[in-house]
Structure 1
Amino acid sequence: MDVTGVLHEAFGPDDVPSQAAENRARAALQQRMSSREPRVTSKDRRHRIRFAITAGVAVAAAAAVVAAVAVTRGDDHAPAPKAAPATSAVLPFARPASAAEYLENAAWTAERRPWTDPRPDQFMYIETLELRNKPAYENQHPNDPIRPGQGETRKIQEWNSVDGQTRASYRDGRLVVTKRGEGGDFFDRIAWSTITSMTDPDTIPDGVPGPGSMGVNLDAFIGQYVVPPNVQAAIFRHLARKPEMTVNPDAVNIDGRPAVGLGRIIEGYLSQELLFDKQTYQFIGERMVAIKDHVTHGDDGDAVIHRGDVYRQIIYAKMIIVDRPGDTR
C-alpha cells in the first residue's frame, strides 16, 4: 500500500478522522493533568502536548511493517541465535476476548523470536513511520490532531548504542553521529543491565528507571529500546495484569492488515493504545485518539477536542540490532 492508501485507511473518506485511526503512548501524557483540571494557557498546552509527543520518543505506513523484531550480527563467528522456548506451539487463546488474553498471546509470540545478545558496541536500530501533520501546518498548530489534507507519513531512523554512549540520526538528509557529552546534544539511556533484568512480570516497574531522575513509562519504553524476547514478553504480561487495560473494539487497518488496540483511557477522553497484529499478535505500533468530545479551558482560550481526533499514530517498521550507525539490516 502506498502513502496515499495508508492515509486513506487511517482517516477514511470523512473530513474528521475515524475513531479507528490514532495512537500515542507517552508517559508524560499520563501526568499532564490532574483529575481536577487546572487553568492553563495555550503556551502550557503546546509545551505539554509537544513534550508528550517527544518525551522519550525515538518513536512511529508506507512500506510493509516488520513487526517481528529481528536481530542481525555483523561478525562471521557470532553465536547462533537462542532457540525459542520449548513450550506449546499453540496460542494460549484461540479467540482472545479481553486485553489480558490479547497480551498473553502477544507475550507468547514475543517469546518465539530468535535472539542473539548484542555486544556493547552494537546499536539498537529503530525505524518508525509516523503519521503527522505537514511541517508548515505543524509549526503553526503544534497541538492540533492530524488533519485531513495536512497529514503525511514520515520515516524516522535512529541508532543508539547498546552501551548508551553513541546515538545517530538523519538531519537534513545527512547521518549525524553524536557521542555522549559532545556537541551539546545531551542524552541519557537506560542501562542494558537494567533492561535485561526485566524478566519477571511481578517486579517490572511501571516507570523504568534511568540515570539520575530519568524514567520512562513502560508503554513508551518498549518503543524506544530493542529488548530481548523474554523482556518484551514479561512487559506484556505485566501490562495484562492492569485492570485499566482495555481492548479497542474497532479494528484498525495498518498497511492493509487488521490491528487491535490495547490500552488505557487517559484523562477521561484519550485512548492511549499499543497496536498488535490481529492475526500474529506481533507488536506493531502505538496510537492515541480522542474517544469523546472534550474542552480544555485556558486563560487565553479553549482547546476543543473532537471524538475521533488522532494525536499520534506510529508504526514500528524495524527494531533490530546492527553493527554501526547507518546499518539497517
Structure 2
Amino acid sequence: MDVDEIDVLREAFGPDEVPSQAAQNQARAALRQRMSSKEQRVTSRPMFRRRQFVLTAGIAVAAAAAVVTGVAVVATRGEDRGPAPKAQPVPSTPAKGVLPYLRPASAAEYLENAAWTAERRPWQDPRPDQFMYIETLQLRNKPAYEREHPNDAIRPELSENRKVQEWWSVDGQTRASYENGRLVVAKVGQGEYWTRVEWSTITAMTSPEKVPDAVRGPGSLGVDLDAFIGQYVVPPNVQAAIFRHLAQSPGMTLNPDAVNIDGRPAVGLGRTLKGYLSQELLFDKETYQFIGERLVAIKDHVTHGDLVSRRGDVFRQAIYAKLIIVDKPGDTQ
C-alpha cells in the first residue's frame, strides 16, 4: 500500500483512539503471561491421543450434541493459545454422550458401556394388545442330525443358519410363530399353556438393585437373566439396569475373541457352567450393542472316560436380528 492510499484511509477513518492506561496495563500483563507460557511449553505440554470408535445411528445424534457442550480445543490459524489444558479426572458418572470406558478391559466395564448404549435406544411404551417381535438367526445342526443328537455340539459340516420368528403379546396371553411355513397363532388356555413375566414386573426393574438374579414376579416361574433379555423386548432403562446388575454379579468373565455368526467381531461376557462351558452374551465390539448369545466349551470335558466335548465346541449360538414392538403377529417392522 503506497503513501497516497494511507492518507486516504486516515482522512476516511481519522486517527486511532489512544488506549486507556488500564487497557495498556492489561495488555502488558497478557504479553508477560504469553512469554512465560512459551518458555514452559516445550517441557510441559500434555500428550493427547484420539480414540476413534463407531456409534450406531441411534446414539450418534446424542453423542454429537454432547460434544458441543464438552471441552473444545480450538486452533486458530496464525495464533498460539498456549499450553493445552491439564487432563481432568474422569467423573464417576460420565457426561451425557460420552462412553464411560473408551478402552474397556473387564466384563464390568464392557457391560457399563453396553448399559450406556442401551439407554440411548429410541423407545415408546407399548399397549397391552401389541406384540414383542423376536427374530433370531440361530446356528444349529441340520434337522435330521439334531433329532438324533439333540444335545450334541454344533458340527460345522452339518450346521446351518436358521431364521426363527416369534411374536408374544405384551400381556402374555398370545403367541405366534411359523410352523411348516404357516403363521400359527395360539392363546393361553386354548390347548396350550405357558408362563410369561408380567409387563408390570418388567417395567419395575429400573435399577440394578431392583433386578433379581432370577426374574420373579406375578406370572413368572423364574427366568435366568442371561436368557431373559433375549426372550423379551424390554425398555431401554430396564435393559441397562440388567447389564449393570450383571456387571456387579460374581463370576462374570470376558472373552474378547468371540466371533459372531456373520464374521463381525464380537465380545462375549458370561459365566462358567459345570466347569467347562461358558454361557456368554455377545456384544458388538465397536458399538457395544447387545447382539446375541452362545454356549461354548472353554476346555475339554471327559465324562466316564469318554470325551464329551472339546475346547471351542459351540452348543448354542443365536444372533438377535430384531427385538421390537409391533401391532400384530406377522408384522416385522
TM-score scaled by length of structure 1: 0.71
Partner of 2:211: 204
Q: Is the partner of 1:219 in helix, strand or coil?
A: helix
Given candidates 302, 326, 331, the residue that maps to 1:327 is 331
CA contact (8 A) 1:123 1:161 kept: yes
Q: 1:123 is matched by which residue type in structure 2?
A: F
TM (normalized to structure 2)? 0.70
Say if 1:210 and 1:187 are closer, same or farther in 2 by CA, change over 3 A: farther
Counterpart mapping for 1:6-85 below 5 A: none
Match of 2:272 in 1: 265
Which consecutive aligned stretches of 4+ in structure 1 deviate over 3 angstroms post-superposition? 83-87, 210-213
Match of 2:145 in 1: 137
**8 Å contact 1:125–1:159 — kept in the other structure?**
yes
- 1:175 pairs with 2:183: yes
Q: Paired residue for 1:115?
A: 123
**Judging changes above 3 Å, is the alpha-carbon distance between structure 1 residues 161 and 136 closer, same or farther for their aligned structure 2 residues?**
same
Q: Which amino acid aligns with 2:130?
A: Q
Structure with more contact order per residue of length (Cα contacts < 8 Å, sep ≥ 6): 1
How far 1:255 sits from its partner (Å)? 2.2
Aligned to 2:312: 308
Deviations 1:242-270 (CA, angstroms, capped at 9, x unpaired)? 23111103141442321000011111100
Separation (CA, whole Å) in 1 of partners of 2:57 and 2:143: 30
- Aligned with 1:281 (options 273, 276, 288): 288
Q: Which residue of 1 aligns with 2:161?
A: 153
Alpha carbons 1:188, 1:210 under 8 Å: kept = no
Report the 3-state secondary structure (helix = DSSP H, G, I; strand = E; otherwise coil) of the residue aligned with 2:311. Answer: coil
Q: Distance in 2 between matches of 1:127 and 1:303?
A: 34
Residues 103/178 of structure 1: CA separation in 2 closer, same or farther (3 Å cut): same
Q: Which has a greater percent of helix?
A: 2
Whole-Å separation in 2 of the counterparts to 1:322 and 1:252: 30
Q: Distance in 2 between matches of 1:193 and 1:90?
A: 31
Letter in 2 for 1:267: K
Partner amino acid, structure 2, of 1:282: Q
**What amino acid is the match of 1:279?**
E
Within-5 A mapping of 1:164-243? 164-182=172-190, 184-211=191-218, 214-243=221-250
CA deviation after TM superposition for structure 1 residue 69, in Å: 12
Alignment partner of 1:138: what SS?
helix
> Can you list the C-alpha shifts for 1:43-93, whole angstroms capped at 9, x where unaligned?
xxxxxxxxxxxxxxxxxxxxxxxxx899xxxxxxxxxxxx99985111000
Contact 1:188–1:211, Cα closer than 8 Å, also in 2: no
* Residues 1:162 and 2:196 aligned together: no
Q: Which amino acid aligns with 2:198?
A: A
Deviation at 1:211, TM superposition (A): 4.8
Q: CA deviation at 1:225?
A: 0.2
Q: Supply the distance in 1 between the matched residues of 2:273 and 2:204 (Cα, whole angstroms).
A: 29
Counterpart-to-counterpart distance in 2, 1:124 and 1:212 = 17
AA partner of residue 310 (structure 1):
V
Closer/same/farther in 2, CA of residues 253 and 268 from structure 1, 3 Å limit: same
Determine which of 81, 101, 106 is the counterpart of 2:109: 101
Q: Which residue of 1 aligns with 2:134?
A: 126
CA distance in 2, matches of 1:211, 1:305: 39
Deviates more, 1:201-210 or 1:284-293: 201-210
Rounded Cα–Cα distance in structure 1 between residues aligned with 2:104 and 2:280: 17
Mapped pair 1:90 → 2:98: yes
Q: Distance in 1 between matches of 2:260 and 2:318?
A: 13
Letter of the structure 1 residue corresponding to residue 163 of structure 2: K
Report how far residue 275 of structure 1 moved.
0.2
In 2, the alpha carbon distance for the partners of 1:240 and 1:150 equals: 36
Return the alpha-carbon distance in structure 2 between the equivalents of residues 142 and 251 of structure 1: 24
What is the CA–CA distance in structure 2 between the aligned matches of 1:217 and 1:119, rounded to whole Å?
25
| Separation of aligned partners in 2, 1:129 and 1:149 | 18
Segments of structure 2 that go 5 or more residues without pairing to the other structure are: 1-55, 67-94
Contact persistence 2:271–2:278 (CA under 8 A): yes
Cα distance change, pair 168–213 in 1 and its aligned pair in 2 (3 A): closer
Q: How many residues align?
A: 246
